[in-house]
Amino acid sequence: MLDVRGISIAFGGLKAVQDFSLSIPRGGLYGLIGPNGAGKTTCFNLLTGVYTPSEGSIAVDGVDVTGLPPHQIAVAGLSRTFQNIRLFGQLSVLDNVLLGLHLRGRHSLASTLLRTGFHVSQERAMAAVAMRLLETFGLANRAEEQGKNLPYGDQRRLEIARALATEPKVLLLDEPAAGMNPQEKKALRELIQRVRQEFGVTILLIEHDMGVVMNICERITVLNFGQTIAAGTPDEVQNDPKVIEAYLGTE
Amino acid sequence: MSKLFEETRSLKAPVWGVIPRAAWPLVVAIAIGALIYFGVSPLVGGFVSKVMLIVGINIVLAVSLNIVNGYTGQFSMGHAGFMAVGGYVAAGIVYYGSIKLWGSADPAGGILSIVQEGPKSGPLLGKGDFLFVISCLIGGLVAAGAGYVVGLPSLRLRGDYLAIVTLGFGEIVRVILQGSHDQIQPWKAADAAAMPVYELAWKLGGPKGFNLVPTYTTLFWVYFWAVLTCIAAYRLKSSSSGRAFLSIREDEVAAQAMGVDLTKYKVRAFVFSSFFAGVAGGLYALDIGAISAGDLNFIKSFDIIIMVVLGGLGSISGAVLAAVILSILPEALRDFQSYRLIVYALLLIVIMIVRPQGLFGVREVWDLKIFKRRGGGLGGSAGGAP
Amino acid sequence: MTQFLQTLFDGLTVGSLYALIALGYTMVYGILKFINFAHSDVFALGVWMTIVWSKWLGLGQPGAAPTPWYMGALVLVLAMASCGLVGFVIERVAYKPLRSAPRLNVLITAIGVSLLLQNTGQLKFVFGPYPKPIPSLIDSTELFSMMGVSVRMADVAVIGTAAALMIAMQWLIFGTKLGAAMRAVSFNTRNASLMGINVDLVISFTFVVGSMLAAAAGFLYAMKYEGQAKQTADSMWVMLGLKAFVAAVVGGIGNVRGAVIGGLLIGLIEFFGVSYLSSHYRDAYVFAILILVLLLRPEGVLGKATVEKV
């Protein structure tokens, strides 16, 4: 479903990500871990088109998206959340999700201004879908609140809901458990599992919390200094000496 | 893959609603225009009518600028430039058009466009009125074209850079218009009538301005356009396009990640906004009967910006309210003319420190709690639930 | 040939004024990342301070004895000091409360400050709404003529003072501890404050220095155009300031050497455009260059491209 072959990028002299490859089958749930500054978020930025890789290729469901601008990559079926939550703070919770639905509709200036039948029915359909999504995430009762007024955990969930609204094939989650307490983390784990089943999306997640990663991910890739140092099942990775060295240092 | 969206697509809007939905803004605009022109204006007298006319034009300007500066969060400082483009185009069409068609630049309007004392008589629309309406439309379209050109660099420029570029655009427009050739005066109408259109197109009076244009703008036309602008802005705001604008303002990176095409929507905002600025320019020029690029400099752009900022970046009713207040204020404070801009300036600084979102922020008057308690509010009737 | 040299000379003289003003824009942008719109008005204030102080000291008035150079320098220092003070107040009152606000808000505030300065200056009890003549502090007769280019004392003073100030700035920013602090704050405000740098002080200092340079530019402008009558609320001031801003952008905003190069470049482009193409479009050339530069090389001639962190 997601095929990444040897992508690299350098900022100035710093090789932030080097020769990163990853292949996730349909419906897979993979993890990307590594110490701080290992290049995980940069990887996400490369995948979603925020940065353009200097080499390598990215394909979503067999369609090459290398070098496309972010909005076209979103159309191709890659959606993401952000490490430092990036909701549209002044917009309502509902509007945030509606924005996710935006790219699956057609919105011409003329039909908007004239309120054609197509426009009106589309807006209605969007509102209905958005509300159902919010219900799934337990946010329906907060639909009219401004995004920035939600509690932290709800903001994280809203970001996932918004990303799902784009009907992605692949969902990238950037540290979804960051700043959560143990109960919230447990709920999040269940949520991710549920999303995967209900929406049938392929998921790649960056996470620092080993409890979350090791429990739910099928395979894990470990980055350090921009390079892939290990890849495999949670058990394999946990016992890999290079991974232990990267996290704990050498004696 | 989720089938949610396909399932719900079938929620069709009733077909019978299509034509009324497209047409009612026009009906409302005509009704309000007529009400103000025939009903209110004779009651309040000449001076107040004149102020109301300025208010109306400023409403068009403020509400349209709000789409770029308020909704989309881009910062245009060239709104007066678009106004000048539209104004010159409209004035040129009406002036030379009248000469070409009827041999003289005298007004040839009906009741709707001639300011009469006493009972109004004669045909509702004169032959000149059609020229006038078309000229405003074309002025708006040409300004929209200019908006397209200015909107393109906005893709690569953020915030203050874009502000400077738009300001530069306004100044370039001014300088270029001031470099146009001398106008052909009305008493040489025969010369003008014999000249080909492309030659006339550049005889716009240069630094002296374009003068002696027949006047058509009345309260009817001004409020007709003001209402249309507000409804169009409202429809835009409460639709997917409007949400896309707001998302760009909130966070460009996240907006792009959600599939919002920044290029398309920024340009769309500029095109839409400059169209109405162009129309306002036409109304302005054909009210005074003259237009001078020198008057439409960046100070004029600032005036409109102040309205938008005071009313609330993103609020239509806020922009309308601010346009009303800030257009009446200088008339009321004639004796304190030299303090006007000082007050404005202090207002800007204080708003930014105390209430940076302006009076209303993105909200509308009817979103306020006092209106909410009475239920429904204006939102519903203004097409909140289409 | 003569026309070419004369244009070159004029372009460089005015360009060095732009460069001085551009330094102020660039330094503030480098540290606070916003366009200090009011900077052009501080420059205009510099012209007015020159007029006011000269009058107060009885210098350069019709019928007065020629001004000795040290008195001229005194006026320059006084004008710089008064504008420095104004710059300090502007920063503390209008911009400091907005340190963490979105850049757009600061920009709007800056427009407000600009309008405030312009229109306050126009009040009867400040400078008044009527044009005032600029005193002649420097002998305006031709100093010498070389290959048909006439060089006046005023021109020499303009280029000389501007060059001296620019070298002083270079030393201040790259050769002193305070300069290092400024560069640190510009690089990363938060980290700089963690390293024990008094950020507020550095920012205030930047505003004061920038305003003083603008005042110096104002003084030199007055020297170049002595005898002419000027109004306070004239869009000309904003225009001059904007051209200086364009110079800062063209040179690479936030880059001190870029501002100097940009200033000279803009001066030359303007004057060559006027003398070889048409004087009608004087202001349009500069903005056309700006739009071109922003589209082709948005980081400016000497600027560095930055990547936004996501």
What ipTM does the predicted assembly reach? 0.90
Of C279, C278, C203, C290, nearest to C242 (Cα)?
C290
CA separation for the pair C28, C18 (Å, rounded): 16
**B:252-281 residues touching chain A, CB 8 A cutoff:** 253-262, 268, 272
pLDDT of residue A20: 92
- Give yes or no for B178 touching C (CB within 8 A): yes
Q: Report the DSSP beta bridge partners of residue C152.
A: C142
CB spacing of B21 vs A120 below 8 angstroms:
yes
CA separation for the pair B193, B184 (Å, rounded): 10
CB spacing of A88 vs B4 below 8 angstroms:
no
Give me C21's structure tokens. Answer: 């003003």
Bridge pairing between strands A29-33 and A219-224: parallel
CB spacing of B179 vs C108 below 8 angstroms:
no
Q: Does domain C2-129+143-296 have CATH number 1.10.3470?
A: yes
- Residue B125 half-sphere exposure, CB side, CA atoms within 13 Å? 8
Give me A99's structure tokens. Answer: 């924005």
Confirm whether B347 is domain-assigned.
no
Return the partners of chain B (3 or more C-beta pairs < 8 Å): A, C
Give me C271's structure tokens. Answer: 């004057």
CB atoms within 10 A of CB C135: 24
CB spacing of B260 vs A167 below 8 angstroms:
no
Of C245, C177, C203, nearest to C20 (Cα)?
C245
pLDDT of residue B87: 96
Q: Find the closest chain B residue to C104 by CA distance.
A: B159
Reported as a pLDDT band with limits 50, 70 and 90, residue B2 is very low
The amino acid that residue A72 corresponds to is Q
Q: Smallest CA–CA separation between C280 and chain B, in Å?
A: 6
Confirm whether B184 is domain-assigned.
yes
Cβ pair B248, B266 in contact under 8 A: yes
CA separation for the pair B43, C301 (Å, rounded): 62
CB atoms within 10 A of CB C247: 35
Of C82, C20, C45, nearest to C233 (Cα)?
C45
The amino acid that residue A103 corresponds to is L
CA separation for the pair B218, B153 (Å, rounded): 37
Signed CA dihedral, B94, B95, B97, B98: sign only: positive
Give me C148's structure tokens. Answer: 């048909």
Tens-digit pLDDT profile for residues B53-94: 999 999 999 999 999 999 998 888 899 999 999 999 999 999
> What is the span of the domain harbouring residue B143?
20-113+125-297
Query: Hey, of B313, B333, B346, B349, which one would you mutate to test binding to chain C, going by the most C CBs within 10 A of its CB?
Result: B349
CB spacing of A71 vs B256 below 8 angstroms:
yes
State mean pLDDT over B132-149.
Answer: 95
Reported as a pLDDT band with limits 50, 70 and 90, residue B381 is very low
What are the helix (H) ranges across chain B? 4-9, 18-34, 41-66, 79-102, 127-151, 159-178, 189-194, 197-200, 219-237, 240-250, 252-257, 262-288, 298-311, 316-332, 337-354, 369-372, 378-381
C310: which chain B residues are within 8 Å (Cβ-Cβ)? Answer: 253
CA separation for the pair C35, C205 (Å, rounded): 17
Q: What percent of chain B has a predicted confidence (pLDDT) above 90?
A: 42
Mean pLDDT over each residue of chain A, to the nearest integer: 89
CB spacing of B5 vs A98 below 8 angstroms:
no
CA separation for the pair B99, B191 (Å, rounded): 10
Full strand arrangement of the beta sheet holding A78-80: A78-80, A170-174, A202-206, A29-33, A219-224, A227-232
Reported as a pLDDT band with limits 50, 70 and 90, residue B119 is low
Of A26, A106, A100, nearest to A62 (Cα)?
A26
CA separation for the pair B246, B74 (Å, rounded): 10
Name the phi and psi angles at C114, rounded to 5: -60, -50
Cβ pair B243, A99 in contact under 8 A: yes
B164: which chain C residues are within 8 Å (Cβ-Cβ)? Answer: 35, 242, 245-246, 249, 290
CB spacing of B251 vs A88 below 8 angstroms:
yes
More confident residue, C136 or A81: A81
Pick from B104-113, B258-267, C61-70, C75-84: least confident:
C61-70
For residues B292-311, one letter each, b for 16 or more C-beta atoms within 10 angstroms of the residue's C-beta and e for the rest, the string is bbebbbbebbbbbbbbbbbb
Confirm whether B328 is domain-assigned.
no
Of A103, A119, A129, the CB nearest to B258: A103
Pick from A183-197, B349-363, C10-24: least confident:
B349-363
pLDDT of residue B113: 81
More confident residue, C168 or B158: C168
| Whether pLDDT at C67 is above 80 | no
Helix, strand, coil fractions of chain C, as percent rounded to 5: 70, 5, 25
State mean pLDDT over A134-147.
Answer: 90
**B:91-150 residues touching chain C, CB 8 A cutoff:** none
The amino acid that residue B100 corresponds to is K
pLDDT of residue C191: 85
- Give yes or no for A218 touching B (CB within 8 A): no
CB spacing of A99 vs B232 below 8 angstroms:
no
CA separation for the pair C251, C245 (Å, rounded): 10
Cβ pair B278, B38 in contact under 8 A: no
CA separation for the pair A230, A241 (Å, rounded): 10
Supply the DSSP symbol for C91. Answer: I
The two most distant CA atoms of chain C are separated, in Å, by 66
A123: which chain B residues are within 8 Å (Cβ-Cβ)? Answer: 239-240, 386
Sorted by where each starts, the structural domains of chain A and their CATH numbers stand as: 2-87+166-248 (3.40.50.300), 88-149 (no CATH)
| Whether pLDDT at B373 is above 50 | no
Cβ pair B62, B307 in contact under 8 A: yes
State mean pLDDT over A77-99.
Answer: 92
Place of tokens 């009475």: B374
Bridge pairing between strands A202-206 and A29-33: parallel
More confident residue, C179 or B284: B284
Query: Hey, of C33, C36, C93, C287, which one would you mutate to test binding to chain B, going by the most B CBs within 10 A of its CB?
Result: C287
CA separation for the pair C292, C271 (Å, rounded): 18
| Whether pLDDT at A31 is above 80 | yes
What are the helix (H) ranges across chain A? 40-47, 70-76, 93-101, 109-114, 117-136, 152-165, 182-199, 210-216, 234-239, 241-248
- Residue B280 half-sphere exposure, CB side, CA atoms within 13 Å? 33
- Give yes or no for A27 touching B (CB within 8 A): no
Pick from A146-155, B5-14, B162-171, C286-295: least confident:
B5-14
pLDDT of residue A153: 86
CA separation for the pair B262, B250 (Å, rounded): 12
Of A63, A74, A138, nearest to A100 (Cα)?
A74
More confident residue, B378 or C57: C57
Q: Find the closest chain C residue to B70 by CA distance.
A: C104
CA separation for the pair C20, C264 (Å, rounded): 10
Q: Which of A21-35, C66-80, C242-256 has the highest mean pLDDT?
A: A21-35
CB spacing of B253 vs A100 below 8 angstroms:
no
Q: Find the closest chain A residue to B260 by CA distance.
A: A71
CB spacing of A45 vs C307 below 8 angstroms:
no
Tens-digit pLDDT profile for residues A91-135: 899 999 999 998 888 888 888 888 888 888 888 888 888 999 999
Q: Which of B10-19, B61-70, C122-131 has the highest mean pLDDT?
A: B61-70
pLDDT of residue C226: 73
Q: Smallest CA–CA separation between B142 and chain C, in Å?
A: 20
Q: Smallest CA–CA separation between C102 and chain A, in Å?
A: 14
pLDDT of residue B242: 92
| Whether pLDDT at B273 is above 60 | yes
Q: C238 by DSSP, 3-state: which? A: helix
Cβ pair C153, B383 in contact under 8 A: no
| Whether pLDDT at B157 is above 80 | no
Domain count, chain B: 1
| Whether pLDDT at B380 is above 50 | no
Cβ pair B274, B169 in contact under 8 A: no
Confirm whether B74 is domain-assigned.
yes
Q: Find the closest chain B residue to C123 by CA distance.
A: B338
Confirm whether B348 is domain-assigned.
no
Give me A1's structure tokens. Answer: 């479903």
Cβ pair B17, A117 in contact under 8 A: yes
CA separation for the pair B375, B41 (Å, rounded): 33
State mean pLDDT over B102-118.
Answer: 77
Mean pLDDT over each residue of chain B, to the nearest integer: 84
Q: What kind and span of H or E run contains A223?
A: strand A219-224
The amino acid that residue A133 corresponds to is L
